Chains A and B, each alone.
Chain A
Amino acid sequence: MGQKEDNIFNKAKKSLKIRLSLVMLIVVAIVFSGVGLIQYLYVLREVSHPLAAPVYVGLLLIGLALIVLLMIRSTRNVKQLGEITAVKERIEKELEIARGIQMSMVPKTFPPYPDRDDIDIYASIVPAREVGGDLFDFFIRDEKLYFCIGDVSGKGVPASLVMVVTRSLFRTLAAHEKSPGRIVTTMNGSMSDMNDSMIFVTFFCGVLDMKNGHLRYCNAGHNAPVLLNTTKVLLPVVSNVPLGIVPDAVFKEQETDLQYDDALFLYTDGITEAENASHELFGENRMMNALSALKGSQDHLEEMQKAISAFVGDAPQSDDLTMLFIHYLNETKPDTSEHHLLIHNDIQQIPQLADYVETIAAEKHLDHSLTLSLNLALEEAVTNVIMYAYPKGTDGLVDIEAIIRKDSLSFVISDSGQAFDPTAQPDVDITKGVDERQVGGLGIYLVRSIMDNLSYERSDGKNIFSMTKYI
């Protein structure tokens, strides 16, 4: 691409030189033929000198010959110029098509869910050039809103290619994965492979449970979104590294709960780093101020756009500008809550389970003994996954979800290891004597004894083990 541009540039330079020399030739030709013609006519009218006519005819002929030469040269030149224009037009046309394809990859119908009254979303994306490296996306699956925003390093065509890859990976993974931590970790894995150009992507991914406002999210070096409720604050995020740099990076997942009327404003640094003519940046403060108490996501984004335009003035747009505004409007929350924990298939992580169960027990006001029993059941179930689902030496994740209902508590444990059904394991015979007792199998036996309900399914290449205790 760059080479072709250079080529065109060189051709253009060359044609400029040619044109200058042509102008000089034209002048000479006109002078010669002009003088020749005038003198010849003069000679015809008043014959004076016998040699005069042939000299003037000669001059005239030289002039005419030059004009013919010039005409031939300029036809060639015009042809060359035509070629350059054609190449330029073709590139422009291709970029225009590329822009169309790229823009069709982000949602563009707003409001996107006119039939839903529990969510209001508005977004805009303005590339600085024909194509850009910003992206956002969202869709609803199983009553959960999957959304993301990202910013590819660099601009133009190279960034746009990576943008397309990033968006496709997000769509593919989020279609069957509900943990943003896993989505981001897996995306990073594939993007870090074969990243010779060292292009990276800052990325933020969230999964909002529409039923209860529970938000799980994971950040990969992107700007912290703004959480708008009665106040305006930045959502607390672990920064992590951007996508595409560290192949085996693990991205910490975080969670919070959105209440009715809470909103999230996500943006790329094209907003905060929008420059005016005197190279001042729009900045976080101006951005925060522009997020007024207006209701409605469209108003917010239009307001922001106006504020940026007013600030930037006539200065050319320096970076892609992308905004995504999500307004959560579900008033009726069921009597459940969820807690998540994402760990590695490593025994070292087992002690984390105790704190996790402690938090859940505190919310449900469970006594110490029951808490320990639940901790035990969870530890056994998770240890099984670590020991049997993932082959020794392979790195994998274990996703733990606790669902607290009014009269029960469930743990759902999923992993991407090989198929392993703990419910299919035979029970140990606890009545046997010391010498006959088998040493293994106690874990699942404890789980069965402590919990009231166990179920296992294999779906989308994942083991999903659920266990429920009625309280």
Chain B
Amino acid sequence: MVVLNGRLDTLAAQEVAAQFDALKEKAGGTVVLDCSQLGYISSSGLRLFLTLRKAASTKGGKVIVRGINSDVRSVFMITGFLNLFEIQ
């Protein structure tokens, strides 16, 4: 399980890109992204989520997004991400 905190803007996405790459190695199993402390996400952050999700799809694993607040949820909705992830 990975906990995401605060704002995942373009700069932050660049900083955590390597950690997401590492997560892809585990994408064969279940990866839980705890987003209950995530207040903001931009397209760079979404791209990390999607790349991870694609890896999971290839490897037969799954990605669970947990605890997103209403603002992040609306970004997920606009971009169709609600259909791509298991949202808890």
Contact = CB atoms under 8 A, between A and B. Distances in A.
Interface string A202-244: 0000000000000000000000000000000000000000000
Nearest to A438: B50
A446 B71 CA distance: 13
Given A376-B75, A439-B47, A442-B46, A351 B11 contact: yes
Contacts, number: 72
Given A372-B71, A437-B84, A440-B47, A445 B79 contact: yes
A194 B10 CA distance: 38
A90 to B, nearest CB: 64
Interface in A420-471: 428, 430-431, 433-435, 437, 439-440, 442-443, 445-446, 449-450
A434 B54 contact: yes
Interface of B, secondary structure class, is helix
Contacts of A372: 39-40, 71
A380 interface: yes
Interface in A305-363: 347-348, 350-351, 354
B34 interface: no
A446 B43 contact: yes
Interface string B25-46: 0000000000000011011101
A439 B50 CA distance: 7
B70 interface: yes
A383 B44 contact: yes
B22 interface: no
Contact of A434 (B14, B40, B46, B57): B57
Contacts of B14: 347
Interface string B3-23: 000010111001000000000
A415 interface: no
Interface in A391-440: 428, 430-431, 433-435, 437, 439-440
A259 interface: no
Interface in A355-398: 368-369, 372-373, 375-376, 379-380, 383
Contact of B9 (A351, A439, A450): A351
B15 to A, nearest CB: 10
Given A354-B7, A372-B40, A434 B74 contact: no
B51 A439 contact: yes
B51 A376 contact: no
A435 B54 contact: yes
Question: Is the interface on chain A under 10, 10 to 19, 20 to 34, or 35 or more residues?
Answer: 20 to 34
A341 to B, nearest CB: 15
Contacts of B80: 430-431
A350 B54 contact: no
Nearest to A432: B80
Nearest to B81: A430
A373 B73 CA distance: 12
Nearest to A450: B78
Contacts of B10: 347, 350, 379, 383
A369 B70 contact: yes
Contacts of A445: 43, 78-79
Contacts of A430: 79-80
Nearest to A383: B10
Contacts of A450: 78
B9 A442 contact: no
A443 B41 CA distance: 11
A384 to B, nearest CB: 10
Q: Which of A369, A428, A434 has the most CB of B within 10 A?
A: A434
Contacts of A354: 7, 9, 40
B11 A347 contact: yes
A380 B43 contact: yes
B4 to A, nearest CB: 16
Interface in B42-73: 42-44, 46-47, 50-51, 53-54, 57-58, 70-71
Given A369-B74, A437-B50, A442 B11 contact: no
Contacts of B84: 433-434, 437
B71 A442 contact: no
Contact of A443 (B7, B11, B43, B54): B43
A357 to B, nearest CB: 11
Contacts of B50: 434, 437, 439
A431 B80 CA distance: 7
Interface of B: 7, 9-11, 14, 39-40, 42-44, 46-47, 50-51, 53-54, 57-58, 70-71, 74-75, 78-80, 84
Given A383-B44, A434-B53, 16 more contacts: A347-B11, A351-B9, A351-B11, A372-B71, A376-B40, A379-B10, A379-B42, A383-B42, A428-B79, A430-B79, A433-B84, A434-B54, A434-B57, A442-B43, A442-B79, A450-B78
- Nearest 7 CB-CB pairings of A with B: A430-B80, A442-B43, A443-B43, A449-B78, A434-B57, A350-B11, A350-B10
11 contacts: A354-B9, A368-B71, A376-B75, A379-B42, A434-B54, A434-B57, A434-B84, A437-B54, A442-B46, A442-B79, A446-B79
